[in-house]
Each structure stands twice: as C-alpha cells, then as structure tokens.
Structure 1
Amino acid sequence: MNNTPHPGSLPKFPESMWSHTSPRPSFPPLNEDIQCDVAIVGGGITGIMTAYVLLEAGLKVAIIDAGQILQSTTCFTTAKITSQHGMIYNSLLSHFGKKAARLYYEANEEAIRFIFDTIQKHNIECELQRDDAYLYADSEDQLSQLRQEWEAYRQLDLPGEWVDELPLQVESKGAIVLRDQARFHPLLFLSSLTNYIVEKGGRFYENTTLEDYAEEQDDGNIILKTANKHKVTCEYAISASHFPFFDGGGLYFTRLHAERSYVVAIKPQKSYPGGMYINCGEPKRSVRSATLNGSEVLLVGGESHRTGKNDCTIERYEKLEQFARDTFGVEQIPYRWSTQDLITIDEVPYIGNVTSRHPRIYVATGFAKWGMTTSAVSALLITDLITGKENRYTELFTPSRFKVDPSLKNLTVQNAEVAKELISGKIEAVHLKVEDLRADQGAVVKHLGKRAGAYKDSTGVVHLVDTTCSHMGCELHWNEAERSWDCPCHGSRFNYQGSVIEGPATEDLTRLNPHYGEEK
C-alpha cells in the first residue's frame, strides 16, 4: 500500500459529497402505534419516490427507516440517470428474449421522463444536466464483448450509436453512446421531494427497526412491529431497503449478493470534455462530472468486489486515484466514499410481491448499481400494483421469476460461496493478539482462545467485538478503508464498535472486554 502523502492525496476518512452539500431533513423515531394505507420500509430514493407516487394517487403513507433517511446507498451513488446499464442488453436478449429486453429499456426510459417531469413540476433545483452516456472497451477482449452488446442494441432497435473514439482521453477500442441521458445531485432532489411529502401528510420515522416478520390479519390488514413493540397497521407494506425486511421464507438471501464499489471526487488539472463514461470490463472505471462550490469536480468510480472479499480496501481508492492522476491530473481530492449494492442472480431487479403467498407485501431490491432509474421504475410499478392498474413491466421484474439459464448456475455458485464462508471463517487460523495492534488498525485477533475483532483507535483505546455476524452466523472481515466489519455472505456491515451500519442484520455485534470476556 502506498502511504506516501502528496498534494491532493486521499482524505483520511470517507465522506459523501452529496451529504456534505445538501440539507438533510430530520425526523423522530416511531414511539407510538400508527395506522396508514401503505407502510414503506426504507428511506432512500426508492422509498421516497414510491411514497411520492402513492401520495399523488391519494394514499396515506408512512416511511420507516432503521437509520436516518438519505444516509444509506442513496447517499453514496454516482447518480447517473441512464438506461445504459453496462453490458445488460445482450444478456437480457439471451436469457429473457427480445420482448423482455426491449421492455427493460422502455421501463428505464419512462423512469427518466418521470424524474424530469417531477423536477419540472416542483421546480426542484438539483443540478440536473443532460449528458451523453458512453460504454467503452479498453482492451481487445472487451471489444469483442462490446460488439455483442452493440448487436443487441441493433436487434432491439435502441437509439445507441457506435463510435470508434471517445471525447475522453483514455484507452479505448470503441464505444456505444446513448445520447441525452442525465446526471443530478440526488440528495437535493430527494430533500425537496421529502418536504413535499411531509406537506401532503406523509409521515417519516427514523432510527426505527422493524422485526423481520409481518402479521397478516383476517381483515386484510398487515401489522408490522418495531423492536420497541410499537405497531404499524397498514393495508400494504413495501420493503424499499436492501435485503427485504420480510423475506417470506428466506428466498432472497439465496438470490441476492452484495458488492462494494468506490468513488474518489477530484478537482482535475485538465479540462473535461463532458459525458458519462463506464468501461465494459474489469477493473471497472466510471467517470462523470459534478459541481462543488461552483467548480467542476469529477467522480471517478469502480473497483467493485463482493462485500467482505477484499483484505486491503484502501488499495481500491488508491487505484482510482492513480487512474485519475494519469487521465486528468489531480489538483485536489475533496471526498472519497464507497457504496454497497445488491445484485440478483439474473441481474434484473426484483420489483413486485415479495412472494405469491403475501399479495399485499411488496419488495424493490437488486438494482445492481443502477438505482436512479430502477427506483423510479419501482415507484411506478408498485403503485400500479397497489391501485389495481395494469402495468406491462410486471412480469419482467416479478420476484417470483426464475430463469433456468443463468439463474440456476448463479444460484448454485452463490450458495456455494455462502457455505464456503460459513465453514472457512470458523476454522481460520488466527495469530494476532490485541497487543499486536498499532494505532488506527483493525484485525481479527485471538482473544481468550477464540476469534474476535479488534480495532485500536488513534488514542490507543481498543474496541473488541464478536465477529460472528448477527444475521446468519458468517464470520466478518475487517474493512480497512471504512473501518467496519463486513459480512461476505449477505453484505451486513457493522462499525468498529459493533453497531449495525447496513442490513440485513438488525442486531448489533456482541461487544467484548479486551481484558475479560463478554460485556454485560
């Protein structure tokens, strides 16, 4: 790892540029029993946009978040509003067929129009800009894959264009450009929408954890219970969080996996030609521009990996920094952050009934890093399902689908990965001791003869936790760049003190005393 400081070096701690440059509404926890037409679990872009559409349809909504609204995945997006979702259309054509592949494009185009119409209707100032989106190949191997994607564009009659050269000065063998896509400041957009929802009677509750089941009554109502035993009685419930708060039988834990990706925000030394860019291979490189204090910055992202599967995450930032220096020159790096996304086994989101046995409970998840448009798709589709309107995208996104190719293969691989982690984490040899740690270091250590997780802060205080994930018992890995404990099985994350950062886990880790045993 490169620890040599230089002008414009990486910030020591991760922080979202979006969060630091927008107001954030604040709401109380739920401390009483309430009733509503629709309870929405999750206060990110999906939950807020769905609440907005339901309110416009005349329904009463309550939005409940285990943490703070707009402080999870939505806060750490690159916020590209586009129907160009990487190498998606050739895969859709092969595994879903021509009609479904075309519907995927049309659903996301409708989502783009909906976002623009909403911004215009409410005069929302959110730095919305039209921009062209480029999917490019930076090697000969990638070029052959990109040509297959281009052939899918041709068969589906998508309005893409093939170009041999990019405006951006990066290694490129060819690219597909989709014109007139967009980018914006997601939290400025959503903060404004949140204020509108409150004005129209929508209710928000923060720092409220729900139990992972739903009681369905004979009269059709659903009762959700908080960890403090307060009741939410509703006609419909929507899971707009990552993993569904209510799984309906454990199906989603086997059909979703979590990936982390990284972003550095840089002030470039060279002029930027415009456009939004992403390559079609690995390691991933994504670039778009944004505005910070009236000046242009570039968001350089990529370096994806499965959550909990990387030992030195700070190197991910360093590789993005080096790419930025080589390509644009770097005057300053004001922000860096990482995010987590869920990916389904066929890479198409799950939007619809959580299971056929629970027709009044809905889910929206598995956006595979393209949540700006697919969150709007979810809001429109789920509202139609609740209000009884026909929606031509229902079958494409239904969570009950199962495509034998590639779903069966991916499901087998995914479950094998979980099984491997469950076993390997338990038998891993641990040699470090608490006293071996230096300041600002975290690691798995041996404590009282057992595996434990330790972090020594800059003042020398040691924070010790049981590294067994409180969700399903996998062993956690230390994430150096974020100073967190991450689960390689289902993506739960905990801070160094053991508090839940990201689900599906809802219970904190057991804290240990460095000198004794379990804290009482």
Structure 2
Amino acid sequence: MWREEVKLPKGSTLQENRKVDVVVVGGGITGITTAYLLQNEGLNVALLEANEILNGTTGHTTAKITAQHDVIYDELIGHIGVEQAKLYYEANDNALHFMKDLIEKENIDCQFSTQDAYLYGATLEFDHRIHKEFRAYEKLNIPCDFKTSLPFQFDIRAAAIMKNQAQFHPLQYLTHLAKQFLEKGGVIFENTVANDIEEGTSPTVITRDGHRISCQHVAICTHFPFYDGAGFFYTRMYAKRSYVLAAKTKQKFPGGMYLGADQPTHSLRSATLNGEEVVLIGGEGHKVGQGINTEYHYQSLQRFAEENFNVLSYPYRWSAQDLITIDKIPYIGKLKESKENIFIATGFKKWGMTHGTVAAQLITDLIMQRKNPYEEVYKPSRFHADPSIRYFLRQNLDVADHFIRGKLDLPKKSVEQLEKGEGNIIYVNSKRAGAYKDEGGKIHCVDTTCTHLGCEVNWNAGDSTWDCPCHGSRFSYDGTVLEGPAKTPLKTINLNDEESTQ
C-alpha cells in the first residue's frame, strides 16, 4: 500500500569491482538508516538491494513506531532481569525519539503523529496477562495508563496503555533518508543480489553475478541474513506470516494504536491514503507454510472489520513476514565475536520500525568504535538458558515434524483439474511437484523440495507463492526466491518432456 504514494529514488546496477568503507546489504529501514548514518559519519558507503529498495517487509508494515511489543516486558523481566528489560525499552524509546527529532529537524512530510498504544485482552487468560504486563510497565518506569474499555463495539477486560508512541508513513520517511544518502555521496545498487562474503581484514561481498566489492565492514541488514557465517540463524529463528486489510469506513477512527493479545490477534490504526482516512486492520498470524488456506485469514479479518466498523470498501490488502528469535529479542551486532567487521540485524518480530532504527544506531556505533549501552542486550551470540533451550528444541522438533510430513504428503489434484489462478500439489512422473495455472491458462510447474534444506513447500493461495514450513523460505509460483534463507530457485519442471531445469 505505502508504495502507491511514493516516488522512490532509483539505484544503479553494479557493473564493476568497487572498494568502499562499508557495504550495507538490504534496502529496508535498517539498511537505509544504517547507510544514512554511516555516510553522515564521513564514510564511503555502498548499499546493495536484491530487488528495489523499500520493496520488502518495510513496505508491508503497519508502521507503528513503538516500544510496546505485545506482551513482552513481564516475560523479559523474568528471563533477563529488570535492568536488561529496562535497556530493551530504552533502546526502542530512544529510537522513537531519534525518528521524531529527525522528522522535525529535516521537516520530513511522512504523516508522523503521536499516538497512545493500547495492548488489550478480552478473555480471562489475557486479562491476567495484561494486568501483569501493566505492572511490568510500572516497574520499568514506562509512562503508562490502564483501562477496561476501548472506543469500539467489542468488549475487553483490560488494556495496558503505553503513552506517547507514534505512527507514520514509512516510505515517505525512508525516501527522504535515501535521497540524503545519495546526495552525500552514497551509492545504491538495486537488482544486485549479495550471495557470499570472503572474510578477512578487508572482507569482500560477492554478488550472484560474480561482482566483488571490497570494504572494511559489512552490515547484513537483509530480512533473513544472506550470509550465516556458521551462526546457524535458521535454527534460532522462525518465520511468521500475518495479514493486513486497509478499510474505508463511514465512521472516523478514534485515534490511538491497538493490539489485541488474544488469539487470533488483531491490530488497528488509521492511515491517510490519497487524502482519505483508512483503517489498517491486521493480524491472523501463523508460522510460514503452516497455516490454513491463506485466503481464509483475509476473510477472517474482513469479518472482524465488518463486525466493528461500517466498511465502505477494501482498497488494499497485503501480507507480511516477520522473523522471531528463540528469546524474542532481535540479533543485532557482530555476526560472531570472532568476526569483528561483519555485522548483522535480524529477528525484529513485528516491530521493525523501532528495532530497525535501534539496529542502525547500534551498528553505526560499533563500526565507529563507540560504546553503545544496548550491545549486550542484542548480542547475536547470546543464549539464555530459559527460554532459549525450550524454544530451540520446540522449533527444531517442529521443523523435523514438517520435514517428514511433507515427504509423506500426497498430491491433491492432477494438472487437468486445476482452475485458473489455482496452485496445488500434483504428481509428475511419479514424483511430488507443484503446479500453478495462471489466468491465461499457462501451467507453471516446480519441484516442491525447498533448496535450503530439503523440506517440502506448500501452496499459499492468498499470495500465490510456495512457502516452506521449516525455515520460512518463500518462492514465487515460477520458483523464484522471494524470502530466504533459500538462495537458489526451486527447480522448474517442463511438463512436455518431464525434465527438470534450473
């Protein structure tokens, strides 16, 4: 939705070997903010983006700038202690104020507005949890309030309110930063896929097309790290997909940003689209590749919308993917303690606007050799005995379960039975395959074995993609990689000669 209203600065295509101070990989909020900050420090920075900048998760967010990250602070206090939990809050609160101050200083027109953030529960279970979360706010000295009702038709039992948070138009904000970065001498290379890194005192980023960029530091700001460096991040995170409707309604939105803690979750905020107010209604999250027919998630959001608003139309709908770490705290900092000049930022859960800014500030400080008070909180090499072990085992048992189930899953239809716009599992030459019939009647057939670690992908009808239930890789209907950790496309199958091709 956000891209409809923004003219983005265009990057160039990398065509020769280059040497720069810093290579930033990833054209979302983290990458662009990091590149902007480092260029302002006087460094020579190149930003690489596999597609077009601001075309991934950043362009599909509900764009809340908030330190309220679902029901988390009571849990953080229990697992990492009051002081570390306070640092987590302060890092995100500082990010909010950094963005607010920059928007005011640079006079960025991006629909920034201060809003209170409401976390509410409607059931007895979440009434108890919201009360505990509110007490955690008080313990951490977070400006807050408590209510037992909201300005909507549905009833709740409790709401913990974090005061003076914000919302904005993310691409209008980041377009300004990208333009400033380019004006100050930075370079952006779009349609440039970073594929590997040669480590050393001067690391070299190698692109899929074989181009090489030497530098002093690399900042990996891709959604899923394109380079793992034996960090095994795919075993320490899982991918979750959620859905958003933009609804035009008769009644005016009452203000505020709202997140329901009950299942399925629902998120509410307003936005301005072509001069008209719309309500962004999000939620219905599930692990990638493991949900029911994804069209049902949109239908469920629509039912919720029409139960609580007088809806006139739904001009937009989209889905987004988020990575969640085993302790729910992002991995930001040195890729490994032994890798002094390679940095990573990933696992933001659903809070990329603040955590992307936290990451940019932290990585900038580390490259500039400045102390940052939040380094230990976000250190990628950390491992908390509880809950890390429990979640690590749970997620990887889930991977094993889906790996086996995928191999045993029987095809659902034959090619002849497919309707236009439908994708499904079929048999090709006695082997499992995936087929999609486009609106013109053309069949696109792929091998359903994920090129990451061999799990079987499932069809996502809502987005017309093949999604891996094990580690969250996503592929277009023709096999092209859309989301990592997979780097290689699905093999395509020619139904005429039944031969596989890359």
Partner of 2:241: 260
- 1:69-102 Cα shifts (integer Å, max 9, x gaps): 1000001000001111110101110101000011
1:94-151 per-residue CA deviation (whole Å, 9 max, x = no partner) reads 1010000111111111000110122122221111111111001111121011111112
- Compute the displacement of 1:152 (Å): 1.1
- Measure, in 2, the Cα distance between the counterparts of 1:140 and 1:270: 30
- Aligned equivalent of 1:216: 199
CA distance in 1, matches of 2:16, 2:109: 35
Look up the equivalent residue of 2:127 and give its one-letter code. L
Give SS of 1:211's match: strand
Q: How does 1:197-208 map to 2 (within 5 A)?
A: 197-208=181-192
Residue 454 of structure 2 is matched in structure 1 by 473
Q: Distance in 2 between matches of 1:500 and 1:243?
A: 12
1:299 alignment partner in structure 2: 280
For the 8 Å contact 2:131–2:160, the answer to whether it is kept is no
Aligned-residue offset at 1:24: 2.1
Aligned positions of 1:69-108 closer than 5 A: 69-108=53-92
Name stretches of at least 5 consecutive residues in structure 2 with no aligned partner. Answer: none
For 1:259, what is the secondary structure of its paired residue?
A: strand
Mapped pair 1:247 → 2:234: no
Q: Does the aligned pair in 1 maintain the 2:119–2:261 contact within 8 Å? A: yes
Between the aligned partners of 2:448 and 2:118, the Cα distance in structure 1 is: 42
After TM superposition, list the pairs within 5 Å mapping 1:269-308 onto structure 2.
269-308=250-289
User: Does the CA contact (< 8 Å) of 1:350 and 1:364 recur in 2?
Assistant: yes
Picking from 461, 479, 487, the partner of 1:506 is: 487
Aligned residue runs from structure 1 range 373-384, under 5 A? 373-384=354-365
Classify the secondary structure of the residue corresponding to 1:490.
coil
Q: Report the secondary structure of 1:413's partner residue.
A: helix
- Indicate the residue corresponding to 1:391 in structure 2: 372
Match of 1:442 in 2: 423
Q: Distance in 2 between matches of 1:31 and 1:129?
A: 42
Q: How does 1:60-459 map to 2 (within 5 A)?
A: 60-212=44-196, 214-217=197-200, 220-459=201-440
**Is the 2:436–2:444 contact (alpha carbons within 8 Å) kept by the matching residues of 1?**
yes
Asked if the contact 2:231/2:336 (under 8 Å) is kept, the reply is: no
2:270–2:277 Cα contact (<8 Å) kept: yes
- After superposition, give the CA deviation of every residue in 1:39-70 in whole Å (9 maximum; x if it has no partner): 11110000001111111211111111111110
Dislocated runs of 4+, deviation >6 Å: none
CA apart distance, 1:430: 2.0
Is the 8 Å Cα contact of residues 36 and 235 (structure 1) preserved in structure 2? yes
1 CA distance for matches of 2:15 and 2:499?
A: 30
CA distances 1:152-174 after superposition (whole Å, capped 9, x unpaired): 11221211111122233322111
Retained in 2: the 8 A contact 1:40–1:61?
yes
1:36 alignment counterpart: 20
Q: Separation in 2 of the partners of 1:443 and 1:28?
A: 38
Distance in 2, Cα, partners of 1:460 & 1:453:
15
Distance 1:474 1:20 in 2: 36
- Partner AA of 1:162 in structure 2: F
Q: Residue 13 of structure 2 contacts residue 189 of structure 2 at CA under 8 Å; is this kept in 1? A: yes
Aligned partners of 1:259 and 1:342 also within 8 Å: yes
CA distance in 1, matches of 2:111, 2:492: 43
CA displacement, residues 494-513 of structure 1 (integer Å, 9 cap, x when unaligned): 11111111122222111111
CA contact (8 A) 1:440 1:457 kept: yes
Counterpart-to-counterpart distance in 2, 1:433 and 1:515: 15
Offset of residue 439 of structure 1:
1.4
CA contact (8 A) 1:210 1:227 kept: yes
Secondary structure at the aligned position of 2:21 is classed as: strand
Query: 1:519: how far off?
Result: 4.6
After superposing the two structures, state which structure 1 stretch, 245-254 or 333-342, moved more.
Answer: 245-254
SS at match of 1:430: coil
- Following TM superposition, by how much is the alpha carbon of 1:277 offset from its aligned partner in structure 2, in angstroms? 0.2
Number of residue pairs matched? Answer: 501
Alignment partner of 2:472 out of 484, 491, 495? 491
The answer to whether structure 1 residue 59 and structure 2 residue 40 are counterparts is no
Q: Is the 8 A contact 2:412 2:424 kept in 1?
A: no
Contact 2:231–2:335 (Cα < 8 Å) also in 1: no
Distance of 2:413 and 2:433 partners within structure 1? 10
SS at match of 2:99: helix
TM-score (norm 2): 0.98
Which segment drifts farther, 475-484 or 249-258?
249-258
**Do the aligned partners of 1:434 and 1:447 also contact (CA within 8 Å) in 2?**
no
CA distance 1:205–1:237, change in 2 (3 Å): same
Distance 1:58 1:118 in 2: 18
State, as a whole percentage, how many aligned pairs show the same letter.
46
Against the structure 1 CA distance between its residues 250 and 489, is the aligned structure 2 distance closer, same or farther, given a 3 Å change threshold?
A: farther
